[in-house]
Amino acid sequence: MKKYAIILAAGKGTRMKTELPKCAYPLLKKPMIAYIVENLYKSTVIDELITVVGHKKQVIKDILNSRVSYAYQEEQLGTGHAVMMCKDQVTEPGYTIILPGDMPLIDELVIKEAIVYHEKAKNDLTVVSTNLADPSGYGRIIKKNNQLEAIIEEKDATDKQKEINEVNTGIYIVDNKLLFSSLDKISNDNAQNEYYLTDIVKIIKKDNYKISTYLLKKSFKAMGINDLYALSQAESILRHEINKKFMRSGVAMINPDTITIGDNVLIEENVTVSPNTYITGNSVIKKNAKVGPSTEIHNSKIGENVTVKHSLIYNSEVKANSTVGPFAHLRDGAVIGENNRIGNFVEIKKSSTGDFFKASHLAYVGDAEIGNDVNFGCGSITVNYDGRNKYKTQIGNDVFVGCNANLIAPIIIDDNSTIAAGSTLDKNVPKDTLAIARSYQVNKENYFKNGKRYKDKK
């Protein structure tokens, strides 16, 4: 017996009224389709995942890569038609769980519980339903003597049917053979001229198979994202849940409504996160760190006792006891050593620094490898780009770079050397050396005489 999952993600998302295919829209900086696929993996009950793609399919494929296999729906003729496109891939006996790609709050628990229910009930078809105070927009569950009969789409429903509060979440578990034999019988004779997946319910019911609903109690999880307002609501629910989980495990958050933590982020105890801070992607924040206010950290690792204020850190690492900011920018694989001080308006790109590196103000470090105990004076930069190519800078241990120095790469500055302030270097500096590369000062005396500058005379 094989268990398949089919995720429907071919639709355009007309109601989003924007360019991106709907299922690619991010919540907490992660595309909604990625939540569904990750939660299916976490549930550990599925053998094969198939995603139906169509509209702007490459965007979806770039998100999921080889985590799933793909079926193609060139024309979006409805959810039933989308599932039909998987027929050649669902070949083994067993059952399939079908999920829409626009329901990012469905977690692995819902998936597991629905499957346990389906197996225990020995059902041929289970429809996951939920009760909504405002059911508008959803398909309504039609029951007779408390038995599932059919699903009616809002646009096809009578006024009486529209009053029903039990709705179709869009998740189904169905026997593989039965799924495709019933899909062969659906038509597009409805208000939207689409092949509705929901029509398999009445077809399967008519043939006396065993069907029922599984009622999802936490109805917020079944929220379908059809427009940008719904997206913001789902994001706010998710944000709240994630923040609550962290605060309950020892992470302090000041004004948590302004703090966004992605759902793949790990934060250890005794961390404080201050307002207007985003920590997203596969980021890790170690013990006793202080992050924020107004900071973005994406796919980065922040070590123990690190402080980050008003700064941007992307795809980088900051090791223990260092401080970053205010207004620093670390990116593209910057690795900051222990006990560093990365201060105001300092940018560090694709570089590594040893322990006790200091760049306290106004510096640019790009494509550089820097040893221990190095000081980078205010305004100093690595000149890594000649307009065509990028070059590396190598700096040893115990190096003092004075203020406003230009280190023209490729260049090697060896251990214990000192660079005079204002120097523009284009040659390597050997060990224990003072390098000066600037014109010497000339003082013209009596330039200012009788209350006037020389050039103002007369």
Residues that bind ligand UD1 (CB under 6 A): 8-11, 22-23, 52, 73, 76-79, 81-82, 100-102, 138-139, 151, 153, 167-170, 196-198, 224, 226
Residue at token pair 């985590």: 67
Question: In terms of CB distance, is 198 or 351 closer to Ca ion?
Answer: 198
Task: Establish how many alpha carbons lie within 13 A of residue 75's alpha carbon, considering only the half-sphere containing its beta carbon.
Answer: 3
102 belongs to the binding site for Ca ion (CB under 5 A) = yes
Question: 101 is in the binding site of which of Ca ion, ligand UD1, none (Cβ under 5 to 8 A by kind)?
Answer: ligand UD1
239 φ/ψ angles, rounded to the nearest 5 degrees: -60, -45
Strand partners, 166: 131
Task: Provide the minimum distance between the beta carbon of 82 and ligand UD1 in the complex, in angstroms, as a whole number.
Answer: 4
Question: In terms of CB distance, is 225 or 297 closer to Ca ion?
Answer: 225
355 belongs to the binding site for Ca ion (CB under 5 A) = no
Task: Provide the minimum distance between the beta carbon of 100 and ligand UD1 in the complex, in angstroms, as a whole number.
Answer: 4
Q: Of 224, 262, 366, 396, which lies in the binding site for Ca ion, with binding defined by CB under 5 A? A: 224
Question: 295 is in the binding site of which of ligand UD1, Ca ion, none (Cβ under 5 to 8 A by kind)?
Answer: none
337 belongs to the binding site for Ca ion (CB under 5 A) = no
DSSP string over 265-321: -EE-TTEEE-SS-EEESS-EE-TT-EE-SS-EEES-EE-TT-EE-S-EEES-EE-TT
Q: Report the distance separating Cα 354 and Cα 295, nearest Å.
A: 24
Work out the burial of residue 281: count CB atoms within 10 Å of its CB; fewer than 13 is exposed, 13-18 middle, 19 or more buried: middle
Using the rule CB under 5 A, give the single segment among 67-75, 94-102, 251-259, 428-436 that binds Ca ion: 94-102
How many residues interact with Ca ion (rule CB under 5 A)?
3
Task: Provide the minimum distance between the beta carbon of 275 and ligand UD1 in the complex, in angstroms, as a whole number.
Answer: 34
Question: 52 is in the binding site of which of ligand UD1, Ca ion, none (Cβ under 5 to 8 A by kind)?
Answer: ligand UD1
Task: Provide the minimum distance between the beta carbon of 241 and ligand UD1 in the complex, in angstroms, as a whole number.
Answer: 20
* 361 catalytic residue (yes or no): yes
Question: 138 is in the binding site of which of ligand UD1, Ca ion, none (Cβ under 5 to 8 A by kind)?
Answer: ligand UD1
Angle at 220 between CA 216 and CA 225, to 5 degrees: 115
Distant-in-sequence, close-in-space partners of 229: CB < 8 Å, separation ≥ 6: none
Residue at token pair 């706010």: 236
Question: In terms of CB distance, is 188 or 226 closer to Ca ion?
Answer: 226
Task: Provide the minimum distance between the beta carbon of 219 and Ca ion in the complex, in angstroms, as a whole number.
Answer: 15
Structure tokens at 114: 């629905």
Q: Which residue is nearest to ligand UD1 (CB)?
A: 139
Task: Provide the minimum distance between the beta carbon of 157 and ligand UD1 in the complex, in angstroms, as a whole number.
Answer: 10
Question: In terms of CB distance, is 80 or 224 closer to Ca ion?
Answer: 224
Distant-in-sequence, close-in-space partners of 148: CB < 8 Å, separation ≥ 6: 127, 141, 142, 201, 205, 211, 212, 213
Q: Report the distance separating Cα 72 and Cα 88, nearest Å.
A: 11
108 φ/ψ angles, rounded to the nearest 5 degrees: -65, -25
Q: Report the distance separating Cα 453 and Cα 458, nearest Å.
A: 10
Q: Which residues form the catalytic set?
A: 361
Point out which residues bind Ca ion (CB under 5 A).
102, 224, 226
